[in-house]
């Protein structure tokens, strides 16, 4: 969960976090993975990059969580 998401967070999720996950948890290599980032504030650049890279975004709207 981040307060404000940036494009570098999407890049880091894909290039570092997901790569490390695949190395550390090889028992899940046959599973279908879904990447997601949760944030209070998401700008349009982040939304565009997430859509291009099939990353799910979760954003808080009042008392609800919205999927973008």
Is pLDDT above 90 for 11? yes
pLDDT digits (tens, 9 = 90+) for 13-65: 999 999 999 999 999 999 999 999 999 899 999 999 999 999 999 998 888 88
pLDDT for residue 67 is more than 90:
no
Mapping DSSP onto H, E and C, the string for the chain reads CEEEECHHHHHHHHHHHHHHHHHHCHHHCCCCCCEEEEEEEECHHHHHHHHHCCEEEEEEECCEEEEC
Q: What is the pTM of this model?
A: 0.83
Domain boundaries, the chain: 2-67
């Amino acid at each position: 969960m981040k307060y404000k998401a940036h494009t570098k967070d999407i890049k880091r999720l894909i290039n570092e976090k997901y790569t490390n996950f695949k190395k550390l948890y090889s028992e899940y290599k046959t599973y279908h993975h879904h990447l997601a980032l949760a944030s209070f504030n998401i700008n349009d650049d982040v939304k565009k990059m997430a859509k291009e890279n099939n990353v799910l975004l979760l954003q808080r709207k009042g008392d609800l969580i919205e999927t973008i």
